[in-house]
Each structure stands twice: as C-alpha cells, then as structure tokens.
Structure 1
Amino acid sequence: MTSQTRTSPMTSSVCGGGVGQYRANVIGRLGKGVAMNKLRTLADVLRQAGFARITGLFLIFYLLCSTAVWLSEPTTLTFGDGLWFSFETVSTIGFGDIPAETPVARAITVVLSVISIFYIAMLTGVAVNYCNTLIKMRQKDTMARFMDDLEHLEELDRDELADLSRRVREYRRRQR
C-alpha cells in the first residue's frame, strides 16, 4: 500500500501529499483553534470551581471593606485611599504609606486579610486545575495520534515507522 491511501480528498488535491502531509494539514488547522480551546478550557475550569461567583462576592466584599475603612477614618483618608489600603491588604504588599489607625479599620484589615488568603488559595487551586486539565488534554491527543499510527501501520513510510518506534521506546523508558 502506498502512503497516498489515507489522504483526504481535499488535502490530496490541494497539497498532493501523503499521510505525513495530511497530518501536517490537520495539525495546522487544529493549531488555529488551540488558543480558543485553551480559553474554553479555562472557562470550564472557572465554571466548575464556581470561581466567577466567588470572585464577584470577593469584589463586593473588597469594596465594602474599602468603604468601611474610608468611613472609619474620614479625616485622613479619601475613598481612593481606602481602595489602595484594601489592595495593599489583599495583596499582602503593605507599603505602610496608609496605616489603619482606628480599631474599626484594624478589625476590617484583619477580616479582609483572612478572606483574601482563602481567595488567593482558591485562585492558586484554579490555576493548578487548569494546568492539569491542559496536560490531560495533551496526553489524550498524543495517545489518539499514537493509536491512529498503530491502526494504520501498513500505510506509514519508513521515516514515519522509525518515528513511531522512537516514540514507543521513549514511552517505555518513561514508564520504568
């Protein structure tokens, strides 16, 4: 059998190639959707974690705390200062340019700090989940391509067979 047997009618007439060219064309088309696929995956991970709702609640809480700090120290702070102070607290930067002087502002700072630690931990968890999902997707894609090659061994040319053999050896080495 020749390598021409597995080509798509569309790609063989346009590209005139065999299995390798067909795969290159398919991968090229798929590559255009990779960024979109990653965005969809990120949206799925965020949705599964309920992160959009949590982020909305966190932003409302952040604005309420900023307002409360501003109202508890109206003579020294503007609303913008309250937002900045809350940002320093959430991000744990704490420049010290705006101190919490009243007991109310200090209590708000403690509560905002604790809540933001949990929020940042969730953000980290979502990022790890996203990376793990991408790795699993890549593994599935690799396995699908590998299985496709195995199902069509007789159609592969010498170079493609050598590449397949190399990938099998590499896989075995990693499994040890």
Structure 2
Amino acid sequence: MKRLRLLWNVIRATGAERVFTGFLLALAGAMLVLPRVEPEIHNYGDALWFLFESFTTIGYGDMVPVTMLGRLVTVFVSLYGILVVALSTGVIVGYYSEILKARANASLDEFIRELEQLPDLSRDELLTLAERVRRRHILR
C-alpha cells in the first residue's frame, strides 16, 4: 500500500495522470469515430485493436486507414501513444528513484539511532559499528 501511494505521488508530481487520462479519452473518441469513417473497421472491437496496433507501433497491417480523417486520427493516437510510453518510462524511473531514496533514508535513520546509543554500546558492538562506517565510506 505504501508503494502504491508513492507511485501515485510520483504520477501526480509529474502531471502524468492528466496525460494518461487524456490518452484514454482520445483512445475512446478515436474508437467511436473510426468504425464510422473507415470501411475496413466494422465495430468498436476492431477499432480498439487497430488503435492498439497503431499506438504501440506494432502495425500488423491487417487494417489500414484509407480516409483522410481515419489517417489523421491514427497519426494523432499513434503520436499520443508514443508520448504516453515515453512518459511512463520516466514515471517508472522516478518511482524507483524514490524507493531507493526511502531505503537509504531508512538505513541512515537506523544508523543514527545506533549512534545515539554510542555510550551504551559494548566493545564488540562498537567494533561492528566502526566496520559498518568503513564499509559505507568505501562504497561511496
């Protein structure tokens, strides 16, 4: 649940939810228009399949737009789809960066708690702590 909240925060911070929502609305609109203007696209399922082929750039070629409006809709949805895929990549990278930051902060918090207990630690615990400090210094 915590990770989903973090993912949603990254999506909101980047403004990606508007782009994703806009893409879904554009996809739905195109799905409604294409069966009316394209002779090869007979129903909404075919339209959705054709749009999926277009925006993922798979392009099997089983359906091809022949009208000017069909071609314009296809170009728009394809370019919008490429934008959404590119934005999704950035959101995922941002999400994992935030997870790594959270892990580093948790590790640092634990380390600071141990340092606060420094006067109460035994000799062995102090040696273990010193070794951890050396390892962190070497890793950086």
Pair 1:174–1:76, CA change in 2 (3 A):
closer
Q: Which residue of structure 2 aligns with residue 86 of structure 1?
A: 51
- State the AA in 2 paired with 1:104: L
The TM-score with structure 1 as length reference comes to 0.71
Distance 1:75 1:173 in 2: 64
Structure 1 position 169 matched with structure 2 position 139: no
How many aligned residue pairs are there? 140
**What's the Cα RMSD here?**
1.9
Structure 1 position 130 matched with structure 2 position 95: yes
Q: Which residue of structure 2 aligns with residue 154 of structure 1?
A: 119
1:103-145, CA deviations, whole angstroms, 9 ceiling, x for partnerless residues?
3222221111111111111111111111111111111111111
* Structure 1 unpaired stretches of 5+: 1-35
Residue 121 of structure 1, aligned match among 56, 66, 86: 86
Shift of 1:62: 0.7
Distance 1:159 1:93 in 2: 61
Distance 1:150 1:166 in 2: 13
Please identify, of 110-119 and 47-56, the stretch whose mean Cα deviation from structure 2 is larger: 47-56
Q: Which residue of structure 2 aligns with residue 38 of structure 1?
A: 3
Distance 1:66 1:159 in 2: 69
* Structure 2 unpaired stretches of 5+: none
Distance 1:158 1:149 in 2: 14
Q: Which residue of structure 1 aligns with residue 19 of structure 2?
A: 54
Pair 1:152–1:75, CA change in 2 (3 A):
closer
Structure 1 position 95 matched with structure 2 position 57: no
State the structure with more CA Rg: 1
1:66-121, CA deviations, whole angstroms, 9 ceiling, x for partnerless residues?
22222111464222101110111122222222222223222221111111111111
Structure 1 position 145 matched with structure 2 position 97: no
Moved over 6 A (4+): none
SS in 1 for 2:86: helix
| 2:34–2:41 CA contact under 8 A, matched in 1 | no
Distance 2:70 2:34 in 1: 5
Structure 1 position 64 matched with structure 2 position 29: yes
